[in-house]
Structure 1
Amino acid sequence: MPKIGVVGTLDGWSSEKLADTVSDITGHRLLIDLKKICLDFSTGEAWYGDTDLSTLDALIIKKVGARYSPDLLDRLEILRFLNEKGLKMFSAPLNIMRVLDRLSCTVTLQANDIPMPPTTITEDISEAVKTVEKYGEAVFKPLYTSKAKGMIVIKSGHVTLQEVENFKKTNSMMYIQKRIDHRGKDLGIAFLGGKYLTTYARCGDKLSWNTTTRSGGKYEAYTPSDETIALARKAQNLFGLDFTCVDVAETKDGPLVFEVSAFGGFRGIQTASGLDAAKLYVEYVLERIKK
């Protein structure tokens, strides 16, 4: 059987599950923490403990770090070198880079006319304040984040300037999105190899502005409209990811895309749909290794 490594976070639920699934199917288990890789460009060897990753048959990239930051792009460059030297990877590091940065992802989506909530980018505090006044209520999002970490809602009012200034202290580029009515839920629409897999809903607890599980949200089964699936398919097609979830809200004005996920989640799929996404992904990888 081929030797497949999993790039992920040690003790992370999805990473550990994926590594266990690879082990169950192939008899080989290797969960890789990118912080501990040493790449020697002169030899092409990339050591993780006593394993030279360049000798593996493939890598499945589940996570490249527990916390999103620009540092993750440097880790992906290590993987990109190995990928361009012939090591098969799912998804390709260069494709992941295009969605890891929220701004880069948004530029691609908007350049291809994918409907999104009204969004503004600026480094200027006064322009950010004007944007909040125009939107009435806006969500300020860090460029590198997941599960709504670091995001805040700012309303138009007498404290707008102070709240914008506080956000600016840790975010030089301000990504500002109009807060929309998503009816208390947003969707994770999953694709494997570009083919629609399933959809799960994240439903808020009505106490938090966002629907993430870390804020009390719950996963539920959900069947979106054909229009919503078609939009999500068009969005993910732009990036060439092997496995991804597209975050979508169904609004009174139609479906809107928030982002295309760099990695996608297994837990929501399993909880809402009962599908073993990790098993399906490993089987998908094995089929492509044979080609």
Structure 2
Amino acid sequence: MGTEDLTTLDMMVVLDLGGHDMGVFFHRVGLLTALHDMGVEIVNPVNSILQMRNKAECMRRLVSAGLPVPETLITESIDEAAKFVREHAPCVLKPIMGFGGVGVQLVQDQFDLSHILDYLKFYGHVSGRGAYLLQEFVNGLGFDIRALVVDGEVISTMQRVSACGIVTNIHAGGTPRVNDIDVDDIALRAAKSVRGRMVGVDIIPD
């Protein structure tokens, strides 16, 4: 965050909390909380940031809001994870905390131990313990849609096509293109469920 005097700001828009380093992450959470207490407007609020970076909590809120989500298992048991894969393969394995598609892997028909080890290595670096978030693989139209919601209004949407594999994030090599599918309603409901002022919502069209 540099050496600027952040207490002179009227507003701070937060784009990255350093999710790959827990020390950096919690330092920045504490800093943002202190700035908020000093009167600096933080977008998004710290509580919303924490909720949105926690995929398990996001899933709970999306389900509670009645939004369609893939069938999901969140567990610390490798046996339960293996059972889910056997019943739902192919499926997607994600770190519970993360962003940008980092650590997202497609698990094929047989439970591939290398995927789990890669995941545990990644998540162990973040939090020091293993938990699995597995979802059924939704084979959509070959792309997803990113909608940007700001203060209860969808201000932009785009389609994202993966360059390779299942990750469509632009910085990971995905290709953006114009979106002509109306996703405003579901995007607004999703953003409202996590109580964020500026929210990126990912939607798989069918």
CA-atom RMSD, angstroms? 2.1
Residue 175 (structure 2) pairs with residue 218 (structure 1): yes
Equivalent of 2:193 in 215, 238, 245: 238
Gaps of 5+ in 1: 1-32, 34-47, 252-291
Distance 1:168 1:221, change over 3 A: closer
TM-score normalised according to structure 1 size: 0.62
Q: Is the 1:190–1:199 contact (alpha carbons within 8 Å) kept by the matching residues of 2?
A: yes
Tell me the distance in 1 between the aligned counterparts of 2:149 and 2:120. 37
1:14 maps to none
Distance 1:96 1:165, change over 3 A: closer
TM-score normalised according to structure 2 size: 0.85
Larger radius of gyration: 1
Q: Is the 2:44–2:198 contact (alpha carbons within 8 Å) kept by the matching residues of 1?
A: yes
Shift of 1:150: 1.3
Q: Is the 1:90–1:242 contact (alpha carbons within 8 Å) kept by the matching residues of 2?
A: yes
1:136 maps to 89
Tell me the distance in 1 between the aligned counterparts of 2:153 and 2:20. 27
Q: Is the 2:160–2:177 contact (alpha carbons within 8 Å) kept by the matching residues of 1?
A: yes
Shift of 1:219: 0.1
1:169 maps to 120
Gaps of 5+ in 2: 124-129
Q: Is the 1:128–1:164 contact (alpha carbons within 8 Å) kept by the matching residues of 2?
A: no
Shift of 1:155: 1.8
Q: How many residues align?
A: 198
- What letter matches 2:154 in structure 1? Y
Partner SS for 1:250: coil
2:126 maps to none
Shift of 1:216: 3.7
More contact order relative to length (CA 8 Å, sep ≥ 6):
2
Listed as ranges, the matches of 1:189-228 within 5 Å are 189-205=147-163, 207-225=164-182, 228=183
Tell me the distance in 2 between the aligned counterparts of 1:216 and 1:235. 25
